[in-house]
Amino acid sequence: MAKKRPQTKAKRPQISNGEIPVVGAREPCPCGSGRRYKACHGRAAAQAVTELVRRPFEGLPGECDWVALRELVPAATVELTLKDGLPEGVPSVTLATVLPMAWPALRRDDGSVLLGLQNDTASGDISRDLADTLQRALTADPGTPVRGRRAPADGPRLQDLLDPEGGFEPVVHSGFEFWVPDPENATPEVTASLERANAAAIPTVRLESVEAAYWCETPEKNHLRWVMPHPEEQLLDALARLHAAGRSSLGEGTRLVGSFRAHGLTVPVWDLPSGVGAQDVEKPAAEFAERLAEALATDAPLTSDERRARGGLTNRQITLS
């Protein structure tokens, strides 16, 4: 009887990290390790997708306004400037708080692009998700929306696509009429979506005297919500100093009531009487900005009254994202 040849296992082909394709979680990892993808290179890919980026808009012009438009402002638009200029056939790219039917993006019939900001995102990096949506919108067929998807973990971020010198100038609208340049020819679905959105929109105004401060009107009282770029601990100390000294209000009947935490930034909130409009707080807000700058420059330890004030502000802080 002939002897059986000893069987040897062929070596699996080794693939460099930069070439490893994405496969099913339970499939063998293409790198040749013999382990399942989810336990090998898929682990890093999954972490890159789910890891939360605390300040997704950091480094972009107008970071504070990006946060405000993402979390606080119902209807606003901003013209965006791309690093490499506009592609052929794309006359403009506009960021919008919300788009009809909650579309992530829309390529209009004239080729222009609308990018929606207040959409659910599939990963922990809003900037990467928005950049992926923007890139797909730039090449979409005119007249079509862009659907959501999970962005590649190694894809570009907004910081890679937008011109850092391009500026960021939000235009706040009273409603969502900017959705439909030709309302008479809008589809019934878009018309219905427009009516629902307009009915739910809270009147909002961006102040001119300071950056990223937004007045809004609600049935019971008005508010000023002001997104600030300062480090949270330093800002809370400064607000506590002013609050303890009775210098944190924006005029008679107004009150600093707490703050939001959103995308790595702090958003102090003031309650305003119903009769106080946006124009009424322009000057008080500018004066408060000067007082805040002085308080931010102080590094002395907090007094007992200031510590109590800080504790009250911290207890009334709400995390939005």
Write out pLDDT tens, residues 16-43: 444 566 556 667 888 878 887 667 766 6
Residue 180, pLDDT above cutoff 70 = yes
Residue pLDDT, tens place only, 59-94: 999 999 999 999 999 999 999 999 999 999 999 999
Selected residue with higher pLDDT from 298 and 17: 298
Separation between Cα atoms, residue 217 and residue 271, nearest integer Å: 10
Structural Rg of the chain based on CA atoms: 25
Count of CA atoms in the C-beta half-sphere (13 A) of 180:
21
Pick from 105, 44, 117: nearest CA to 78: 117
Q: What DSSP assignment string belongs to 167-212?
A: ----EE-SSSGGG-SSGGG--HHHHHHHHHHHHHPPPEEE-SSSSS
The pLDDT of residue 22 is: 59
The pLDDT of residue 2 is: 43
Residue pLDDT, tens place only, 107-129: 999 999 999 999 988 899 999 99
Average pLDDT of the segment spanning 252-257: 96
Separation between Cα atoms, residue 68 and residue 226, nearest integer Å: 8
Cα 192 to its chain centre, rounded Å, is: 26
- Asked if 261 and 317 touch (Cβ cutoff 8 Å), the reply is yes
Residue 292, pLDDT above cutoff 70 = yes
- Asked if 131 and 104 touch (Cβ cutoff 8 Å), the reply is no
DSSP state of 147: -
Residue 11, pLDDT above cutoff 60 = no
Separation between Cα atoms, residue 277 and residue 228, nearest integer Å: 21
Tell me which of 9-18, 38-47, 152-161 is least confident.
9-18
- Asked if 26 and 36 touch (Cβ cutoff 8 Å), the reply is yes
Give the CA angle between residues 226, 232, 233 to the nearest 5°.
135
Separation between Cα atoms, residue 213 and residue 91, nearest integer Å: 30
- Asked if 179 and 99 touch (Cβ cutoff 8 Å), the reply is yes
Cα 134 to its chain centre, rounded Å, is: 14
pTM for this entry: 0.83
Residue 181 identity: P
Q: What does the chain come to in residues?
A: 321
The pLDDT of residue 41 is: 65
